Structures are given as C-alpha cells and as structure tokens.
Structure 1
Amino acid sequence: MITVDEKLIVTKQINEVLCRYAKRNLIKEFLFSFSFPNCSKDNTKLKPKNINPLLETIYYYQGEIYPDTLEEVERYINAFLSELDENDLTALQFFTLNENYLNHIDEFENEDDSEYTKEEFEEKLGRYFAQKLYEPEENGLNEEVQELLQNQISRLVNEIDLSVLNKESISEILHVIDIMTD
C-alpha cells in the first residue's frame, strides 16, 4: 500500500490487481476444492465419484443453501479461509468490498446524512472502507466474505447440470469455474 502523510492510499490500480488476483486465483481455488474435495488440480485424474456430494445436494436445491447444508458449507468456508495467509485474505476482502461496493455506498450514505464536497465525500468514504479492512470482524467484513463464497457456490451450481454424474460433469464444472473466474 502507498502511504502519504500517514494516510493509507489505495490506488485504482492496486485495487484492480488485488481483485483480479482474488478472483482468478482464490475464488478459482475455492470453487475447485469445494467441487472436488481432497483432489489435486490434475484434471486427468478426476472421476465423477470425486464430485462433492454437498455440491450435488445444493444442485438439487437449485442453488439454495438450506439449513441442512449450511453448517457443512460454513465449516468448509471457514477451513478454506483459515488456510489463507494474511495477504490472500486481504485480497479476498478487497474483492468482497468491490463486489458489494454499491451496497456499501448506500450504507455509508444512510449512516451519514451530512453534505460534503466531492473531495470530502471521497475521503470519508475511503475512511469507511479502510475501517472495514482494518477491523473486519467488528465491521462485518468477515461475514461478507463468507456470504460471497456461499454465493459463488450457488452461482456455480446454477450454471452446471449434475442430474447425471459422468466425465462430462467434471468438464462442465471445470469449464464453468474457468468462466466465472476469468
């Protein structure tokens, strides 16, 4: 990060790099490992029996994560997040803030009715985002990351057909993951 006069400055380019890294690497890794738990990334050794039964269940629920699957999904997400180093987790947090950007602007505007100049507004909004990044537990950012990962699972399931499990199912899952993370 760039600092000027003890202010953290996140440039548009830095934000884009972090978000691209999170999407192309971390989200891709997450979706692959969720779809094929305990499998290496060697696509030639994947078999239909390697497809996560939880993914199949969510498929039959049409992408919804109901209470009977929520605990297991949360456990998997928490295990994935706990294995990330601080830099990867930060990149995922940036990606989450970027994905929820409009919601955060609405939340920020609802919290603070004051009138600002454009520069003041951008500075206050920047501080709002910085506070989320510096205190992710207290400001709900960690929960947003978990929700984002749940939504990625639902999105994946809505794009694939698991009615019959075969080698084409594996190819389809891998293809959709590539499309989602490109």
Structure 2
Amino acid sequence: MITVDEKLIVTKQINEVLCRYAKRNLIKEFLFTFSFPNCSKENSKLKAKHINPLLETIYYYQGDIYPDTLVEVENYINTFLNELDENDLTALQFLTLNENYLIHIDDFENEDGSKYTKEEFEEKLGRYFAHKLYEPEKNGLNEELQEMLQNQISRLANEIDLSVLNKESISEILDAIELITE
C-alpha cells in the first residue's frame, strides 16, 4: 500500500495485482483442494476416485448448496481461510470487494445519502472500503468472502459434468478451474 499524508492509497494497479493474484493462485488452490481433497497437485496421479463426493453432490444439486451440504462446505471454507497467512487473506478480501463493488457503492450511497463532489465521493468511498478491510469481521467482509467462495464452488459444479466419473472428469474439473481463474 502507498500512504501519502497518512492516507492509505490503493492504486488501480495495486488492486489489479492483488485481485489477479487472489484469483489465479488462491482461488485456483481453493477449487483444486476442494475438488481433490488430500491430493497433491501432480495431475498425473489424480484418479476419479479422488474427486470430492461433496462436489459430486453439489453437481447433482445443479450447483446449489443446500442445508445438507452447507455445513461441510462452510467447514471446508473456514479451514482453508484459517490456513492462509494475513497477506493471502487480504488479497482474497480485495477480490471480494472487487467482485461486490457495485453492491458496495449502492450500500454506501444508501447509507450516506449526502451529495458530494467527485473528489469527495471518491475519498469517502475509499474510506468506506478501507473500513471494510480494517475491520472485516465487524463489517461483514469475512461473510462476503465466505459467500464468494461458496459461489466459486457452485460455479465449478455448474461448469463440469460428473454424471460419469472417469479420467475425463478429472480433465474437465481441471479445465473448469483454469477457466474460472483466468
């Protein structure tokens, strides 16, 4: 981060780098380990029997996460998040804010309701986002992050066909992960 006169400055480039890193590395790792729990990333050793039965269930539910699978999904997400270092968690929080940007702008405008000049608006909105990042538990950012990760699992389940589990299923999952994390 860049600070100028005690103001935190997040440039467009910094935001893009953090979001790209989170998507291409962290989301990719998240989806891989969810799809193939307890497996190494060496694709040649993956077998159809290694595919997470929970992913199969969500696939059969057409990507929906129902109460019978929600607890397992939440446990997986919480375990994944707890194993991240602070920097990786921050990168995922930036990605979450980026994914929900328009929702946050609407919330900010509805919360505040004041009329600002463009510069004032950008400064106040920046503070709104910074507040979310500094207190993610209090401001619901952690919950948004968990929801975003649930949506990634749902998207993966919608991108693949697990009606027959075979070698092609593995390739299809890996290709879908690549597509999602581009």
Name the counterpart of 1:153: 153
TM-score by length of 1: 1.00
One-letter amino acid of the counterpart of residue 80, structure 1: F
Name the counterpart of 1:77: 77
Q: 1:41-72 CA distances to partner (integer Å, 9 max, x unpaired)?
A: 00000000000000000001000000000000
Q: Residues of 2 paired with 1:77 and 1:115: CA distance? A: 40
Q: Residues of 2 paired with 1:50 and 1:108: CA distance? A: 44
Matches within 5 A, 1:56-135: 56-135=56-135
* SS of aligned partner of 1:38: coil
Q: Residues of 2 paired with 1:30 and 1:145: CA distance? A: 13
Name the counterpart of 1:38: 38
One-letter amino acid of the counterpart of residue 35, structure 1: S
One-letter amino acid of the counterpart of residue 72, structure 2: E
Deviation at 1:80, TM superposition (A): 0.2
Q: Residues of 1 paired with 2:64 and 2:85: CA distance? A: 29
Q: Residues of 2 paired with 1:162 and 1:153: CA distance? A: 14
Name the counterpart of 1:136: 136
TM-score by length of 2: 1.00
Q: Residues of 1 paired with 2:144 and 2:113: CA distance? A: 24
**How many residues of Structure 1 are paired with residues of Structure 2 in the alignment?**
182
Q: 1:129-152 CA distances to partner (integer Å, 9 max, x unpaired)?
A: 000000000000000000000000
* SS of aligned partner of 2:37: coil
One-letter amino acid of the counterpart of residue 178, structure 1: E
Q: Residues of 2 paired with 1:15 and 1:71: CA distance? A: 32
* SS of aligned partner of 1:8: strand
Q: Are 1:20 and 2:40 matched, yes or no?
A: no
Deviation at 1:167, TM superposition (A): 0.2
Q: Residues of 1 paired with 2:123 and 2:60: CA distance? A: 46
* SS of aligned partner of 1:63: coil
Q: Residues of 2 paired with 1:20 and 1:59: CA distance? A: 27
Gapped regions of structure 2 (runs ≥ 5): none
Cα RMSD after superposing both structures: 0.3
Q: Residues of 1 paired with 2:46 and 2:164: CA distance? A: 16
Q: Residues of 2 paired with 1:140 and 1:114: CA distance? A: 23
Deviation at 1:85, TM superposition (A): 0.2
Deviation at 1:9, TM superposition (A): 0.4
Q: Residues of 2 paired with 1:142 and 1:46: CA distance? A: 32
Deviation at 1:94, TM superposition (A): 0.1
* SS of aligned partner of 1:65: coil
* SS of aligned partner of 2:41: coil
